[in-house]
Structures are given as C-alpha cells and as structure tokens.
C-alpha cells in the first residue's frame, strides 16, 4: 500500500492527481503546516527535510516528485504497465 503525505495548497496536489490517475491503491495523510506537523519527530523520520509531499512505498520513501508515475513504476506495485 502506498501512503502519500501531503498538505493542502502545496505542490503535493500534483502528486495526489498523479496517484489518482495511476489507478494504484493508496491512502493519504494530511500534514498541517500551520501546526508545524512537518517538523514533528514522527514526520521527520519519513522525510528528514520536513517537506511535502512524501510517498511511502514498499521500496522506500520518495520525497521529491512523489507520485510521479515515471518514478514509481506500477510493475513494482504488482500491476502490469497499462493494465486497468
């Protein structure tokens, strides 16, 4: 299962759209920048830079361009490329 950490009103929207279009199963976790959640010890374990988005996969964490279909290949997620 993929988990996308995002904050509303940030560039994480592009990652969210790309994941929705991919058809892969994923969940989202909202990070409140206003409350400083990106600097919490728990989030810094996921992304030491304290930025969003971050995409947690079975193979590691993508912290730049998270959700870019070119970086996370559907074949690795148990799907054939191009399969619906």
Q: What is the pLDDT of residue 32?
A: 97
SS (H, E, C) 2-66: EEEEECCCCCHHHHHHHHHHHCCCEEEEECCCCCCHHHCHHHHHHCCCCCCCEEEECCEEECCCC
| φ, ψ for residue 61, nearest 5 deg | -115, 130
State yes or no: pLDDT of 67 exceeds 60: no
Position with higher pLDDT, 24 vs 67: 24
Average pLDDT, the chain: 83
Position with higher pLDDT, 46 vs 75: 46
pTM of the model: 0.78
Q: What is the pLDDT of residue 84?
A: 45
């Amino acid at each position: 299962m993929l988990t996308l950490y995002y904050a509303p009103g940030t560039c994480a929207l592009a990652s969210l759209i790309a994941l929705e279009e991919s058809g892969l199963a994923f969940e989202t976790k909202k990070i409140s920048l206003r409350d400083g959640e990106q600097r919490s010890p728990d989030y810094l374990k996921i992304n030491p830079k304290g930025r969003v988005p971050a995409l947690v996969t079975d193979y590691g964490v993508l912290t730049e361009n998270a959700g870019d279909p070119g970086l996370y290949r559907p074949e690795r997620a148990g799907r054939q490329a191009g399969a619906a």
